[in-house]
Structure 1
Amino acid sequence: MVMCVVNGCDSKSKVYFTVMFHRIPTKDNERKNQWLAALNIDLRTPVESIKKWRVCSEHFAPEDYLENMDRVTHTTVRRLKDTAIPTIFRAQTGRSGSSPTTSTPQKSRPAALPAEFKVPLPLQRTSPAKTVMGIRPSAALAPTWTQLDPHNIESAGMDISSTSAFDISMCSEPAADPADTSFAPTSPSTSTTGSTSSSSGPLGGWKERKWMVNESKLMELFQKCSTCGTLMSEANQTIHTFCSRITVSFTCNNGHTGHWESCPNTRQMADNNLISAAATLFTGATYTDIAEWAGLMNLQIPKKSTFYNIQACYLIPVIDAAYKKQEYMVKARLISQTLDGEGVQLCGDGRSDSPGHSCKYTTYSFMDDSSSQIVTFDLIQVSQATSSVAMEPMGFRKGLEKLLDEGLAIKVITTDRHPSIRKLMREEYTNIIHQFDPWHVAKGMKKKLVAASNRRNCKDLAPWVKSVSNHMWWSCCSSKGDATELHRRWTSILYHISGVHRWEDNGREYQCYHKELSPDQQQMKKWLSVDSPAYKALLEIVMDKRLLKDLQQMTLFKHTGQLEVFHNALLKYCPKRLHFEYAAMQARTMLAVMDHNENHSSSREQAKSAAGLPRHNVVFQKQSKQWIARPIYTKTTQEFRDGLMEGVFERRLDPTVKYKESASHVRIPRLPANIALQPKPSKEDVLRAYTSRFKGPSERL
C-alpha cells in the first residue's frame, strides 16, 4: 500500500480514496533539493531511499496541476506540473517543550487521538515566515496551515499535548508487546467496561463486535415485558428468521408491544447477511466450506442462492472497482517512469487451475521487476484457445499487447522457456530483450540430474546434484551481463567436479573461485573421474546445446521468484481443483493481486524474537532430504478488505442498484456457454445409453 511520506499525513491508497501520489524528482538535483527542503527532509538522504517515497496530492495547490487527456482511459485527468513543489502542510501538535519532529520519514504511523480529543478547527493559511507554536518547522518555500479557533484566535498556539498521550493511557488498556517480557495480558475472567474494544470499530458499524448466541438463551430475554415486567407466553410472540437475521415481535398481557431485530438493515437487507457473504469471498473462503462448518454447528448463515446473488450484485462489482483503481495507479507510475526515459522491466508467468493438460483456466500475470507489484493479468478459459497448452502464450500475448497499447516502454521481459512464447518474442517483439528465468532452467536441469543419478552406474552423481544447481545460480548472478563469461563460468563445473581447480583455456589460465582446499579436504572429497559414467552423464547435461544457447538469454539474472510468491497467494483465493464461474474466478484473482501488491510494495522485514534476533523455522526439505533454516517474515496485512467492505455498503445504499442484477461494467469476455464441443442431449437419451461394468445386465437401467 502506498503511503504519503509527509510526517503526520495519513493519506494512503485506499479503495475509495481519490488522492494521487507523486514521486520526489531525482533527475533534477535542484528540484529534488527544493522538494526535500519543503518536506523538511535531510538533503543528504540517499537517492535509493527517496525513490521509494511518495507525496500525496493533499500537499499541492490546485494551480500545481494540468488537465490532460489520459491515453489509458481516454478521460481528462490531472497531472502535476514540472515546476510544482509541495506547499500545503497541516498543523501537527507535539509534546510541550519537545524538539521539532525529525526530517526522517517514519515507517510507523502515529496513533490517532480518541474522538473526544479531536476538535475540528478551521484552517487559515499563514505566510512562510511566521512560526506557529506546535507546528513542524517548514521550509522557506512552504506555507503552513494553522488550526484556528473562530472565537478566540489567540488559542491557536495553545499547547494541548499535555492531555494527549499520557492522560488517555489511564482509560485504555495498552497493546501487548511480544518483545516485552514484563507484559501480562488480562485474564479471560476479567470484565471490562464498555461494549466495544479499541479495534472493534464504532458502535453500530459493520466492524461492531458480534457473538454467537444460542436460541434458548436469546428467548430468555423475552420471558418478561420490558415495560411492566409481566410474564409473556410464547403465544404472544411472533418470530421471523431469514438467513442470519432473527426478529421477535411480542405483546404482553397488559397490551405493551415491542419489536426486536438481531442486526440492523440496509435498504431492507440484513447487514449480517451482507457481511457474512462479503467476509466469505474477501478472505478467499468458499461458500461450501463455510456452509458445512455452519451446518455442523446449526449456525444460521445466508443460503446458497442468497450468497451467490449478493456476490454477483455487490461483491464482484466492488472488487472490480477497487482493482481497477489499484491497477491504474501501478500503470500510472510505470507510464511516468516511461516518460522519464527509464523504461520498464517486467517478468511474466502463467498459472493453471489444475495440473496436467486438463485445466479450465490459466492466469497469466505480469509483474514489475523493480517493485514486485502485479501490473496486470489475463484470465484465459480453455474454450478461448485451441488447446490447454495454447492458453499460456495466448494470455502472454493479450497482456503484453495491452501494456504496449497503454504506452509502456518495455525494455526487458523475463519468462520461462515456453516454446510458443520464445517464438512470439523472437518474431514479433524483437525490440524487447527476452530473458529466461534461472529458477525454471535450474529446475529442469535438476530433474535431468536426479534422473541420471538414479541409474545403476551413476550413483556417484547424486551428492553433486545440489552443487551443480547452485553453480547455475552463481554463474548467472556473477557474470555481470557478459554472455561469454557466463558460458565459461558455467562449464567450469566440469573441472571442479573432477578435482581440477586450475586449468588452461584458450591460452589463459583460470582457477576456481572458492578457497584453496587443504590436502585432507582434497583427498576426502568424492571427485568424479572423467572416465566414469557419472561424469559422462553430467557432461552431457552441462554441455547440452540448447542449454548453452539459452545461457545467452540469462545474462541479466532476472528471475520470477516473486511471481511464485504471488502464485502462493493465488492459491488462497483460487484453490486448485475447485471450479468457479469466470466472473468469480476473475474477482478472486483480483483479490489475490490486491493482497500481494499491498504486502510487496516494499520488501517484507524478517520477524524478530523478544531478544531482538531474527526468527527462523527449521524444516525438513523433501527435495533435498535435509534440515534447513527458513526465515520467518512479519505478518501480512489486508487493509484493502476494509475498503471493500465499505464499498459493499455504499453499493447497497445506491437505489439504482437492483438486487439479483449483475453489474454491466464488469469486464467479462465473450465465452461459449460451456466447454463442450457438442450440444447437450436430453437426459432420457443419456440414461438410455448408460451402462456400468459393475452391474449385471438385469441391474442396468
Structure 2
Amino acid sequence: MSWRRCVFRCESKSTLFALPKDDTTRNKWLKFIYNTIPLQYNPNILVCAAHFTDDCFLNLGEYKAGCAQRLFLKSKPVLTIPTLHGQSGTSDPKSQGYRLEQLFTSSRSHDVGSQTDSIETLPAASPKTRSIGTQLSWGTVMERHVRSKGISHVVMFMFMNSTINALLRCNRISSSPIKGASFTPRKRACLELDEEEEETVYDNSMNNPNESVVTEESDLCFRQQTAYNASKYIVFESCLRELFDTCPICKTKCHVHFRRMGTYVSYSQLCPKCSYNRKWQSQPVIGSTPVGNLLVSAAICFSGASYFKFKKICNSMQLRIIHYDSFRRHTRNYLEPAIIHKWNVDQNNLFRKLQEVRKVAVAGEMRAVSAGDIAKFGSYTLMHLDSNTILDMQLVHCNEVDGSYHMEKEGLKRCLDHLDSNGLAVEYIITGRHPKTQKFLRECNIVQFYDVWHFKKGLSKKLDKLSQKKGCEILKKWVPSIKNHIYWSVISSSSGPEKVAKYTSILNHIQNVHSHVNPVFPKCLHADKVTIDPRKWFQSGSMPLYKVEKIMNNKRVLKDVEKLSHHSQTSSLETFHSVILRFAPKNVVFPFIGMLCRLYLAAMHYNENGDREQAVTTSGQAMYKIVFPKSNKGEATAKPQKTAPSYDYETELMKLVFEEVFADPAPFVEKVKQIPIPATLSSQFERPLKEEVVRPPLSRFSRGAVRSQKTVHPNA
C-alpha cells in the first residue's frame, strides 16, 4: 500500500488528512499543493500533519502524551508549512518531517481498552506493523469493502505474530496503563458471530469525484467516542483468565495478579521465563474513579430505579457491582447536582418563553408523600395548561408547617412566589376545594376554578355512603348516571347560573319529572322512558329522595358548582402523579434532596413525553387498549395507546455529568448547598442511649418472676 502516503512524499509516519469538504478551504489546499487550482485532480490525495502548524490541531497535547491515536484538525485549517514539491517534485525528509519527529520519539502508552501492551518507537529497519486497536492496515481501513466472517481471526493472528517478532528483534517490551485518560480506547475489529450482524458497505466514491473516500469528519474507524456512551458487554471471569494464563511469546504459564473495585477489574501478567509483562483494565479510569462504577450509579439514579432492587438482580446472576456507600457518594457529589442544574436550566428556558405572554393559565395540586400514616413530605405542582408542561414544583417538609393540613397552602404560596419573581402572572388557576387554598387565592385576587373530577369524587362518596343505608338501595343504580350528568352539564355551560340550573335538573331526571319551564332545557337529556316500573324511579316525597336532595342542594355544594371549571381539568396532573410513583414510590423513604431530585426527574420525563401522539397500526388505524379503572367499578373503558416514550433527558444528564460536573463539581455542589434542608422529624426529640433502648423489658412471664411468685411449703 505505497499509495497511502502524503502527496508531498513525506517519509514521516504521521496522521494523514483528506481534502476538506468546504469548497473554499479545499481550493486553498489545492493551490498550496499544485501552486494553482487544477481542473482535474485525484480526490483521494492525502496530506500529512507535517504541513500544519501546532495551532491547527485540536488534540496535539493528548497526541504527544500518547492518549490519542491520531490528530484532529480544527474547522477550516490552512496548509502553512512550505515544501519543495513545487520545485523538484520531492520533499526533504529533514525539512518536512522535523515537527513530527518529536511526536514519535517518546513511547506510546498502552490503551486501556485494547488489551495490548504499549509499543515504543521501533527503528527504521523494523518491519511495518499495524495497530492492534484496528487489526487492519491503513490501506484496508481506507478501502470500502465487504467484511467477511473469517478474516478477523486471520488478521489478528498475522498481526500478533509480526508484532511479537518485531518486539523480540528490538528487545524492548514495556507496558504502562493510562492514568486519568478520558479518551475511548481504539476500536477493535468486529468478530462476526451471528449472521445478522454481517455488514455490507458499498463504495460510492466513483459517483461523486469531489467527495473523498476518508475525511476527518467521516472517518468512522478512528472516530473517538466518549467512554460513557460506548457499548458494554458482560464478560465471564473464566474467559478473562484464559487471556492471561499463558505468555503470548513463549507459552509459559504466567503469574497473574487480579484486582477488582466494583465493576472495575484489572490484570497484571508476568512471565517467569521471558519476563514478558503487561497490564490490562476492563474500563477507562478518570482520575481514580472507574467510569463503569459512575455509570452504574448514574443509570440507577436517572432511571428512577432502586439500588437495592438492582443489587438483588445482580446478586442473582453473580454480577459484581459497586457498594451502596459508593452509590451514595456518586449521587451526592455528581448526580444530584447535575439533576438540579438541568432542572433549573430547563425551567428558566420555559419561563423565558412564557414571559412574552405575561399571564398564564395553570392547574395546581398537592401530592402527599408518606411512608406511613403521617405525611412526611408534600409536593405541590403547577402545570401550564396550554402547553401541558410542569412549570414548578415545591417540596414541603411537615416540620416547616404546623401540620400536614397546611402543606398545600404553603406549597401553592411558594409556587406563586416563584412565578412572580420570574415576571409571570396567573390568569386563573384550577385546583381542588381545599378551604385554606380558597381563602389564600381570594386574598391574592386570583381567579380560581374547581376541578370537576374532585367535585364528583367528593359528592360520590356521600351518595355511595347513603346508598348503603336501609331503604336507599335504589340510589346505587343512579350514582353513575348522576356523575355523568354533573360532568356534561358543566362542560356544556360557560356561566355559573347556567351550571347551577343544569345541575339542579338532575333531581327532576331521577324522579322522571318532565317539566321544561326553564328555556335552557327544552327537552330532557335522558332517553325515553323504557319502563313504567315505579320501583326503579324515585318517588316524590319519599325519604330516599329527600336525603338525596339534602346532599345535592347543600348551600356550599351549589356555591361550588358555580366555580366548576369548564376550560380545563386537572386530569393531566393526576397522570403526572402516576409518573412520580415510578421515580419516588410512597413506600420508600428518601432524604429531602433525594426526594426533590426524583420529583425533578419525573417532571423532566413528563415534559418530554406528555404530548405523545396516539399509536397507529401499519394500515393507519388508531390503536386502543381496554382497561378497567377502579372508579368505574368493573366497567370497561377504551384507552388510546400512545407511542413509545423517549428518554433524551437521560442522555443529556449523562453528558452533563461526564463532561462538566465530573471535571469540576464544586460550582454544581455549591448550588445544592444553597437549598434549605429542613430538620428531620426526630430532631425535636432527645436521643436516648442505645443501651437503654436495646435493654429487653421485664415480663411477668419471665423465669425470675415466676420463681418469686411461687409459694414455698413450710415442710419443704
**TM-score bin (small chain):** 0.5 to 0.7
Kept after mapping to 2: 8 A contact 1:266/1:653: no
Give the conservation status (yes or no) of the 8 Å contact 1:476–1:555: yes
- SS of 2:536 mapped into structure 1: coil
* One-letter code aligned to 1:313: N
| Equivalent residue, structure 2, for 1:31 | none
1:654 and 2:663 matched: yes
Q: 2:134: which partner in 1?
A: none
Residue 227 (structure 2) aligns with: 205
1:217 aligns with 2:251: no
User: What is the CA-CA distance between 1:325 and the residue it aligns to?
Assistant: 0.7
Q: Give, as a single letter, the amino acid of the residue that structure 1 aligns with 2:381.
A: S
Match of 2:313 among 293, 300, 324: 293
Q: Output the TM-score relative to the length of structure 1.
A: 0.67
Question: Of Structure 1 and Structure 2, which has the larger fraction of its residues in helix?
Answer: 2
Matched, 1:678 2:688: no
Give the 3 Å change call, closer, same or farther, for CA 619–673 of structure 1 in structure 2: closer
Q: Does 1:597 align with 2:611?
A: no
- 1:528-607 map, 5 Å: 528-600=538-610, 603-607=611-615
Following superposition, the deviation at residue 672 of structure 1 comes to: 1.9
Structure 1 pair 584/386, CA: closer, same or farther in 2 (3 Å)? same
CA distance in 2, matches of 1:549, 1:608: 44
For the residue of structure 2 that corresponds to 1:389, the secondary structure is: helix
Q: Deviations over 1:78-112 (max 9, x none)?
A: xxxxxxxxxxxxxxxxxxxxxxxxxxxxxxxxxxx
Amino acid across the alignment from 2:409: P
The Cα of 1:686 is off from its aligned counterpart by 2.6
> For 1:146-295, what aligned pairs fall within 5 Å after superposition?
190=195, 192-193=197-198, 205-226=227-248, 228=249, 230-233=251-254, 236-252=255-271, 253-295=273-315
1:629 and 2:638 are equivalent in the alignment: yes
Q: CA deviation at 1:511?
A: 3.6
> What fraction of aligned residue pairs are identical, expressed as a percent?
27
Kindly state the Cα deviation for residue 645 of structure 1 after the two structures are TM-superposed: 0.4
1:499 paired with 2:516, answer no
Q: Counterpart amino acid of 2:348?
A: Y
8 Å CA contact retained: 2:430, 2:565: no
Quick one: which of 463, 476, 499 aligns to 1:486? Answer: 499
Q: CA deviation at 1:588?
A: 0.9
Q: Which residue of 1 aligns with 2:92?
A: none
Cα distance in 2 for partners of 1:531, 1:169 equals: 92
Change (3 A) 1:346 1:621: closer
| Equivalent in 348, 352, 356 of residue 328 of structure 1 | 348
Structure showing greater relative contact order (alpha-carbon pairs closer than 8 Å, 6 or more residues apart): 1
Mapped contact 1:367–1:376 kept (Cα < 8 A): yes
1:475 correspondence with 2:489: yes
Q: 1:365-380 to 2 correspondence within 5 Å?
A: 365-380=381-396
Equivalents in 2 of 1:497, 1:438: separation in Å?
Answer: 21
Give the secondary-structure state (helix, strand or coil) at the position aligned to 2:628.
strand
CA shift, 1:385, in A, is 1.1
**Which of 430, 441, 456 is the aligned partner of 2:470?**
456
Partner Cα distance (1:462, 1:308) in 2:
53
How many equivalent residue pairs? 514
2:676 aligned to which of 639, 645, 669: 669
Q: CA deviation at 1:445?
A: 0.9
In the other structure, the counterpart of 1:27 is: none
C-alpha distance in structure 1 between counterparts of 2:302 and 2:681, whole Å: 27
Matched to 1:360, the amino acid is K
Structure 1 CA distance for aligned equivalents of residues 419 and 576 of structure 2? 20
> How far 1:515 sits from its partner (Å)?
6.7
Q: Note the 1:598-617 alignment, pairs <5 A.
A: 598-600=608-610, 603-617=611-625
Instruction: Check conservation: 1:382, 1:675, Cα contact below 8 A.
Output: no
**Aligned counterpart, 2:69:** none
Work out the CA distance in 2 between the residues paired with 1:473 and 1:355.
34
Cα offset for 1:605? 1.4
Larger Rg: 2
Letter in 2 for 1:650: E
Instruction: Give yes or no for contact 2:227–2:284 (8 Å, CA) kept in 1.
Output: no
Q: CA deviation at 1:221?
A: 1.9
1:217–1:169 distance in 2 versus 1, CA, 3 Å: closer
1:359, 1:279 → 2: CA distance? 29
Q: 1:555 to 1:425 in 2, by over 3 A?
A: same
Task: Measure the CA separation in 1 of the matches of 2:666 and 2:29.
Answer: 45
1:255 counterpart letter in structure 2: S
Of 374, 390, 394 in structure 1, the residue corresponding to residue 406 of structure 2 is: 390
**Contact map agreement 1:357 1:389 (CA 8 A) in 2:** no
Please give the root-mean-square deviation of Cα atoms over the aligned residues, in Å.
Answer: 3.4
The one-letter code sitting in structure 2 at the alignment partner of 1:691 is P
- How far 1:583 sits from its partner (Å)? 1.1
Query: Are 2:20 and 2:26, in contact at CA under 8 Å, matched by a contact in 1?
Result: no
Q: What is the rounded CA distance, in whole Å, between the counterparts of 2:28 and 2:145 in structure 1? A: 30
Where structure 2 has 5 or more consecutive residues not aligned to the other structure, the ranges are: 1-17, 32-36, 39-143, 148-191, 201-219, 707-716
Change (3 A) 1:169 1:442: farther
Distance 2:303 2:277 in 1: 41
| 3-state SS of paired residue (1:336) | coil
